[in-house]
Each structure stands twice: as structure tokens, then as C-alpha cells.
Amino acid sequence: MLPIKRVVSKQLGELLVESGIINRGQLEKALKVQSEKGGLIGKILVSLGYVKEVEIAQALTVQYGLPYLPLDNYEINPDIVKLIPENVAAQYNVIAVDKIGDLVTIAMSNPLNVQAIEDVELITKCKAQVFVSTMTDISNAIKRYYSGSK
């Protein structure tokens, strides 16, 4: 697994400011919270109510050149989902959405989590193709497909 390379060198917060989603003051407040408590800047911005999860996911797609996949109305073959054990899916907030040959397509909210991608590749014995989705979309899909409540 090669590390995911940025196609845009700007930080996520800078991209959000430039696109007018947040202002400089909101970014500075979020960075202060991050320096005090740690955590991902996108998650902090959402928790502060400055952005929606989908805006973070779409900014990540711009930043890293990865495709965005909204899962709310996406039907996934349950056999594909089960390629990743539920505990791994929940731990990394990742779900398998498709498999063609030895390529498994996964949706994840943090495409920078190289450990998660490597673990998925090891478990599935496939190369992973990464799509970005929101944390909520993936959590809902995990509940839906692993609990069997369709």
C-alpha cells in the first residue's frame, strides 16, 4: 500500500476557508481545540457546528483526488460487506462496497488511515480502492448490513 498523495498541497482547513465554507476565525478556533485536545480537524469543525460531514468528505476528495461516494441510498451486496469483519469495519469506520477480481472497493471517512487500508488488504487478500464517505453514512451502513436489519 503506497501512502495516499495529496493532489492539492493545502491543508484541509485552508481549503475550507478558500471555498468559503468556514471563515478564518472558525478555522483558528478549531485549530486551538485541536492543539488542546487532539483529534482530526474535520471532526472538530463538525463538532463545533461550522461544517457538515459531507462538506469535509467533499473537501477530502478535492485534497487527495479520491472519489466521493454517498452511501445513504447505495445498495451493497451483503457478501461483499462481509469481506471485512464487523469489528474491523467499526474500528476503522470502513465498509467494503464492491469487489472485482482482486480489487476491493472500500468507503471510509478517513482515507489517510494507511493502517486501516493495509489491514483491509491483508484481511481481504485484495488491493483496496478507496472512496471517501461521511462517518455517519459509513456507521449507518455498518449497522444496516452487519445487524441484518435491512
Residue-number span of the structural domain to which 18 is assigned: 12-64
On the question of pLDDT at 16 being above 80, the answer is yes
Residue 140 has what pLDDT? 94
Residue 98, domain member (yes or no): yes
Residue 40 has what pLDDT? 86
Last residue of a domain, one of 64, 86, 106: 64
Angle at 19 between CA 14 and CA 25, to 5 degrees: 55
Residues 39 and 100 in one domain: no
Task: Report how far residue 143's alpha carbon sits from residue 72's, in angstroms, rounded to the nearest whole number.
Answer: 12
Residues 16 and 50 in one domain: yes
User: Number of helices and strands (H, E) in the chain?
Assistant: 8, 3
Count of domains for the chain: 2
Kindly report, residue by residue over 125-143, the tens digit of the pLDDT. Answer: 999 999 999 999 999 999 9
Last residue of a domain, one of 41, 64, 87: 64
Residues 36 and 83 in one domain: no
Residues 86 and 56 in one domain: no
Residue 71, domain member (yes or no): no
pTM of the model: 0.81
